[in-house]
Amino acid sequence: MIGHLQPLHWLHGAVVVLMVIGLYVVVARGNLIKKLVGLGVFQTSVYLLYIAPGKISGGSAPIIAEGISVYSNPLPHVLILTAIVVGVATLALGLALVVRIHEDYGTIEEDEILDRDGPA
């Protein structure tokens, strides 16, 4: 089976690419809004990582019926729905903090904020 591309392999590759992009944006950018966007991209990659194995090819919703023997696991979907709600709340808090930082410092660039604070 060498050389056979299984259905989830390309998805795992996409997850890794999204994780790296999100982490790079969070670490390399000085703009606080861009950091929050990078965090959102990173969170999305984690959602994909957890939800992908929850779907089984040929599986149906876990409702017992005649003629259906393969079911998809609903637990990853439920957990990710909760994670999405937490992610939105985290993003809202982050944006509120960025607004407050902008009011105090007049900028949302990390290096300018650190320059204004001086040595710790």
Angle, to 10 degrees, between the axis of helix 75-105 and the axis of helix 32-51?
180
Look at residues 7, 3, 11 and name the one whose alpha carbon lies nearest to residue 56: 7
**Token output for 36:** 């929050």
CB 15 within 8 A of CB 45: yes
Amino acid 2: pLDDT:
45
Amino acid occupying residue 72: S
What is the per-residue pLDDT for 87?
Answer: 94
Domain 17-54+72-111 belongs in CATH node 1.10.287.3510: yes
Q: Are 47 and 76 in contact (CB under 8 A)?
A: no
pLDDT at 51: 84
Residue 105 token pair:
């410092």
Residue 31: closest CA among 118, 94, 87, 92: 94
Residue given tokens 């393969």 in the structure block: 70
The domain spans of the chain are: 17-54+72-111
Write the pLDDT tens digit of every residue in 33-70.
999 999 999 999 999 988 877 766 777 777 777 877 77
Is the predicted pLDDT of residue 18 greater than 60, yes or no? yes
Task: Specify whether the CB–CB gap between 108 and 31 falls below 8 A.
Answer: yes
